[in-house]
Amino acid sequence: MALEAALEKLCSDLRYFRDALGGLETTATQDRPETEGGMVVDEVSDGITELESLCKECLDGAEAALRAVAQPFDANRLRRSLAGSQLRFLSASHLLFSNLLAFEKISALVGFGRTHGREWAAWAHVVRQGLERCREFGAELANSYFACWEEIAERLVAGPIALHTTNIGQQISADALHDKRQVEAGIT
């Protein structure tokens, strides 16, 4: 896979994740029941909003990296942009896996929904499903970042190769070469 293609896939994956987070953020903050929620509801809602913000920053960095591979190629900007994007991704992953998808948080969210009526139970279920889908996005994005760094490493090892050809001299066919060898060998 070429570097440009790897970066385009990363940007596409991040856009898809951002869009999914946008829907989850709407559910978590605007579509919640009218009755007062608890602390766990606020923590989950705030965490999802922060996760969406981090994803947007990841996408900005990845798009800057993609622009850096266009002509003229800017290796420094590419490295800085991709590294910045991945650092934001690592922060988002930490928030997702260590906080929002932690057993304690999910258990508290489900427990809150169970004890506060059908509306809250339904809301908690939808939010939990949305968070679980984010797990798959995280794995796919980790693979996409790896593919980008792998392409950068291959480009460094291979280095740019410029090939310039000119057509000077005569064209020699296989028959002419065979005849020439026979003459040189004294066979006529």
Tell me the DSSP string of 9-29: HHHHHHHHHHHHHHHHHHHHH
Q: What is the DSSP letter of 85?
A: H
pTM: 0.77
Report the candidate in 133, 88, 127, 92 with the shortest Cα–Cα distance to residue 106.
127
pLDDT at 37: 77
Say what the pLDDT of residue 34 is.
80
Question: What pLDDT shows up at residue 73?
Answer: 84
Q: Running along the chain, 188 residues long, what does each successive block of 10 average in pLDDT?
A: 91 95 91 83 93 96 93 89 97 95 93 90 93 92 95 80 61 64 68
pLDDT for 128: 94
The pLDDT of residue 176 is 65
In a domain, 178, yes or no: no
Q: Is residue 42 part of a domain?
A: yes
* In-domain check, residue 22: yes
**Rounded-to-integer distance, Cα 28 and Cα 52, Å:** 12
Closest by CA position to 52, among listed 14, 108, 84, 82 = 14
Question: Is residue 183 in some structural domain?
Answer: no
Residue 53 lies in a domain: yes
Examine residue 145 and state whether it is found in any structural domain, yes or no: yes
Task: Note whether residue 170 is domain-resident.
Answer: no
What contacts 55, CB < 8 A, 6 or more positions away? 14, 17, 18, 21, 88, 92
Domain that includes residue 120, residue range: 3-162
The answer to whether 131 and 101 are in contact (CB under 8 A) is: yes
Number of domain units in the chain: 1
Report the candidate in 24, 25, 27, 48 with the shortest Cα–Cα distance to residue 96: 48
36 lies in some domain: yes
Report the interhelical angle of 3-29 vs 118-158 (nearest 10°): 170
What distance in Å separates the CA atoms of residue 188 and residue 185, rounded to the nearest whole number? 9
